[in-house]
Amino acid sequence: MCDTCGCNVTPGNRRLIEIKGRLSVTPGDRMAIDVLQDLLRENDRQAWHNREHFDRHQVLAVNLMSSPGSGKTALLETTIEAIGHEFNIGVIEGDLETENDAQRIRAKGVPAIQITTGSACHLDAHMVHGALHQLDLENLDILFIENVGNLVCPASFDLGHHRNVTLLSVTEGDDKPAKYPVMFRAADAMLITKADLLPVLDDFKCANAERNLRNLANPAPVMEVSAKTRQGFNDWLTWLQRELQSYHQHLARGEKLCPKIQREGHDLHASAQASPAL
């Protein structure tokens, strides 16, 4: 749908289609230029810039991805209740429409910026850049970016964040990692949410969900949590605190922390394929 109606044109990337290369006319022959650059180079450049912002202010940025309705906002509400007194948390909310999620987060006493994407199906680095300048990064420890509910597109766009957390609710089916491999391969942690419903959903097996994740060669921790009963929240909060610690250690060593799986850059594949003859 997005490919024909043009709804993927987001406020962040609109300028890309408005650029028309100004070319000077000079006589000459055909030229073939070897490039080997990532197709989302402009987004990646902006993402790198965002990461610089986060690192300058020592803010761990966590990208939350899942299908719509799997409990991302509920996870954040309970997380804020549990550790909001200990850490300064900020939230960027991505949705097609409404301020609803940002209002739920603000009700917990935490700053939240809502990005409404119109009809775009993902956040990109330009949109996040616009939002992060509305936040007082100096006074934050952790920034959660709640991506648009979608198991496809958000996985392809680096936002400049440090960790990907993918949620899979027990009402969705334990084969989701096999059906959406690009998304789940990118997860640095997988949360099985709404775990309080497991006793009444006998067709969802956590072991199957974990096996499907491992089949993607992903060693990420799998945690069963319920934002309602706080079941499994110790594991989730411990993971978060360890990541925060590890992030600060990276910064102290002058290293960049990035999600474990990033799209392969040209360095990796520059010599992998012979170019077709002209």
Partner 1 sequence: MHELAVCQSIIEQVSRIAAEYQAQFVEKIHLQIGPLSGVEPELLESAFPIACANTAAAKAILVINKLPIRVRCDTCRSESEASASRLVCGVCGDWQTTLLSGGEMLLERVELLAEH
Residues contributing to the site for partner 1 (CB under 8 A) = 1-4, 6, 8-10, 13, 16-17, 19-43, 120-122, 124, 150, 152-153, 155-157, 177-179, 181-183, 185, 212, 214-217, 219, 263-264, 266, 269, 272-273, 275-276, 278
Cβ atoms of 188 and 163 within 8 Å: the answer is yes
- Which residue do the tokens 């939230």 mark? 91
Of residues 202 and 267, the one with the C-beta less far from partner 1: 267
Q: How far is the CB of 185 from partner 1 (least distance, A)?
A: 7
Of residues 36 and 107, the one with the C-beta less far from partner 1: 36
Distance CA 78, CA 66 (A): 17
Q: How far is the CB of 130 from partner 1 (least distance, A)?
A: 16
Q: How far is the CB of 273 from partner 1 (least distance, A)?
A: 6
Of residues 8 and 231, the one with the C-beta less far from partner 1: 8
Largest CA distance in the chain: 74
The secondary structure of residue 274, as a DSSP letter, is P
Q: What are the φ and ψ backbone dihedral angles of 112, each rounded to 5 degrees?
A: -140, 135
Of residues 28 and 254, the one with the C-beta less far from partner 1: 28
Q: How far is the CB of 191 from partner 1 (least distance, A)?
A: 20
- Give the sheet arrangement for strand 89-95, strand by strand: 112-116, 89-95, 142-146, 60-65, 163-169, 189-193, 222-224
